[in-house]
Amino acid sequence: QKEVEQNSGPLSVPEGAIASLNCTYSDRVSQSFFWYRQYSGKSPELIMSIYSNGDKEDGRFTAQLNKASQYVSLLIRDSQPSDSATYLCAGITSGTYKYIFGTGTRLKVLA
């Protein structure tokens, strides 16, 4: 099992819909998780950090962490064409503090 896994997509949603992005992680990854957005040709930009079980909301974004099932998700409400990008999930390994990134999910929001 990869340490952080994501479906590569593309995930296509219509404008105004909710986009749901998912990520699973292995036992080696600790309880700090992050979502980054990367536009084509640009560097990753931090969107959300989540450290404890449950939901964390920031504007149109909601991150969810389920430690029992070892998954993290990102919900984007009222999706806009400008949300079209690759979304990277990341965690930190226990002890070695190594950041592990998933391969990213490409999101397409259709106008």
Partner 1 sequence: KAGVTQTPRYLIKTRGQQVTLSCSPISGHRSVSWYQQTPGQGLQFLFEYFSETQRNKGNFPGRFSGRQFSNSRSEMNVSTLELGDSALYLCASSVGGDGQPQHFGDGTRLSIL
Contacting residues toward partner 1, per CB under 8 A: 30-32, 34, 36, 41-46, 49, 51, 88, 90, 92, 96-99, 101-104
Asked if residues 6 and 16 have their Cβ atoms less than 8 Å apart, the reply is no
Shortest distance, CB of residue 36 to partner 1, whole angstroms? Answer: 8
Strand partners, 44: none
Asked if 55 contacts 64 with a C-beta cutoff of 8 angstroms, the reply is yes
Whether residue 10 is preceded by a cis peptide bond, meaning omega within 30 degrees of 0, is yes
CB nearer partner 1, residue 15 or residue 45: 45
Shortest Å distance, C-beta 76 to partner 1: 18
Q: Compute the C-alpha angle 41/42/47, nearest 5°.
A: 140
The β-bridge partners of 50 are 33
Q: Which is nearer to partner 1, 73 or 93 (CB)?
A: 93
**Would you say 64 or 91 has its CB closer to partner 1?**
91
Q: How far is the CB of 86 from partner 1 (least distance, A)?
A: 9
